[in-house]
Amino acid sequence: MRRIGVEHAIFFGSRQRGDERPHSDLNLVLLDERFAGRSLGKLLPELQQAWKIDVQVELLPCSPEEFVEMQEWNTLACEACESGLHIHLDEAANEESDR
């Protein structure tokens, strides 16, 4: 998340639930104001190239406001909101330093 400059993500889907298969992708909603109004066609290649992990990643980059609106029509956004694991970069760093 630091590599792409995002402090809030939502991890959801089969890998989050623990029922993934060998070729399951990793589903992440990336929340950041700088994604507001930007085309997915332009954002996704840029983010996927920067992510650099060995697992296929399905990213949904949007602003927090767009994510709220998206939940009215996008089933993946609904799933992420209802059962996803919210990851906050600053909190994760603080928890690590407390251990």
Instruction: Write out pLDDT tens, residues 45-54.
Output: 888 777 777 7
pLDDT one-digit tens code per residue, 10-20: 999 999 999 99
Residue 53 lies in a domain: yes
Please report whether residue 92 resides in a domain. Answer: yes
pLDDT above 60: residue 60:
yes
Average pLDDT on 67-71 reads 95
Q: Determine, yes or no, domain membership for 41.
A: yes
d(CA 52, CA 75): 27
Q: Is 46 a domain residue?
A: yes
Give the residue among 48, 95, 67, 74 at the shortest CA–CA distance from 10: 67
| Structural domain harbouring 44 | 8-98
Structural domains counted in the chain? 1
Is residue 1 in some structural domain? no
pLDDT score, position 71: 95
Phi and psi, residue 30, nearest 5°: -110, 120
Q: Quick check: pTM over 0.85? A: no
CATH number at residue 37: 3.30.460
Phi then psi dihedrals of residue 20, to 5 deg: -70, 165
Q: How many CB atoms lie within 10 A of CB 81?
A: 17
